[in-house]
Amino acid sequence: MSDERVFPGPSPAQADTLNAWRELFESKHSEDFTSLKGTDCLEQPIFPFEVDYRDIDRNDVLSLYFNEIPEKTIELANEVLRTMVAEYEVSDIRCILRPLCLPPERTKSISSLRMRNRGTIVSTVVRIKDVGPRLGYLQEALYECARCEYRETVKQKIARERMRPEGPCQDCFDKAMKTFEGKIPYVVYERLKSSMKLTAEGSFYKDIQYLSVSDIDDSSAQPIWVVIDDEYVDTYKIGDTVRINGVVQIDPVPDRNFMKDTRRILQIHAFSIESL
């Protein structure tokens, strides 16, 4: 265990994306931040930050990464929004990017989606057939070192095994490197890793809900599940017609009866919804 553990900052691509989002928000949406001042965060804890897809597409950096890795790019946008909310001295409102007005070439029917569409952005007009219960999932898990109280946040995925830090905390690791002159015994290294404990306080939980939807012109066809979150939860009912904009994902079969079942189903993780 002599390899040095590295704690990297943003990659050049991530830094370019963060800067591009900031430029877009400052040039197109500075009035939105100003209008949030004085808003009661108890009455409106979440603000949907609606951005025209055409503005995203005009920026070379955002157009590239939003279309190639949409979920990560949206995550970076939300990081910029959190920073800018603090800079504008807005109250504790959480701004969430909601890209709207996707181009016609992104329009897909539910019945046309296949496994090959995984990871792509789609826009589809659907009718809601069923509404699942309101759920929550651990989006960011906060781990604390039991030895020195060092903290590390690990991002999680919906309906997946909870991820732990990749190794021990940096402080304890550095001390062990000095103690053992750069060659940490395996048993000691594993003991240091196990010192990182999940803490409920500081971990971030997110509201989600599943909608079963189908094409509006063929309600008898096989439906698909759409994952919605935050302010969209408990907003829609059976029979509503909406436009879902989101990313096609795959998920394990719900009724799988063994851990390594390779079967998968398609679902859409919505990043915005437009009422029709």
248, 117 in Cβ contact below 8 A?
yes
Q: Kindly report, residue by residue over 95-114, the tens digit of the pLDDT.
A: 999 999 999 999 999 999 99
User: So what's the pLDDT on residue 218?
Assistant: 80
Pairing of strands 196-215, 135-145: antiparallel
- What is the C-alpha separation between 237 and 252, in angstroms, rounded? 25
Q: Kindly report, residue by residue over 112-145, the tens digit of the pLDDT.
A: 999 999 999 999 999 999 999 999 888 899 999 9
- What is the C-alpha separation between 141 and 144, in angstroms, rounded? 10
Is 6 a residue whose pLDDT tops 70? Answer: no
- What is the C-alpha separation between 52 and 221, in angstroms, rounded? 32
Domains of the chain (ranges plus CATH)? 12-100 (3.30.1640.10), 104-134+208-275 (2.40.50.140), 137-204 (no CATH)
Q: What is the mean pLDDT of residues 80-94?
A: 84
Helix or strand holding residue 28 (H, E): helix 12-28
